[in-house]
Amino acid sequence: MEQEEEIDKRIFVYPTSAIEENSKKVSYFSFISSLKNGDCNAALKRIHARIDLGCIDSLIEETPFLEPIQKEFYKVMVRERKKKILDCGMERLLKQKAPV
């Protein structure tokens, strides 16, 4: 997972969410960063500060039967998805003038 392009594919291209717009599944990034859904915005505000990457890393490390390469993959993907999806959405939400 050293190639940024491959990481970005797994963030912005797939997986797509179960949410559909115009009968087409949309990416998590597109949906969250659009700020179109008030319930999603409220959930983002509620959970964002509560995400503890250290705890998540510990959970991954303590998961039996995962190979070291799998553990590294999961840790990289969680961190990158948080940064590129949730942090980005939160930044946009905080810049938004209208209350949620």
> In b/e form, how buried is each residue of 85-100, taking b as 16+ CB within 10 angstroms?
bbeebbeebeeeeeee
Structural domains in the chain, sorted by start: 4-95 (1.10.1070.20)
Q: What pLDDT is stored for residue 18 in this prediction? A: 82
Quick check: 99 pLDDT over 60?
Answer: no
Angle (CA) 43 88 7, round 5°: 110
Q: What pLDDT is stored for residue 1 in this prediction? A: 52
pTM of the model: 0.84
Quick check: 14 pLDDT over 80?
Answer: no
Q: What is the pLDDT of residues 19-63, one digit of tens each?
A: 888 888 888 999 999 999 999 999 999 999 999 999 999 999 999
Q: What pLDDT is stored for residue 10 in this prediction? A: 85
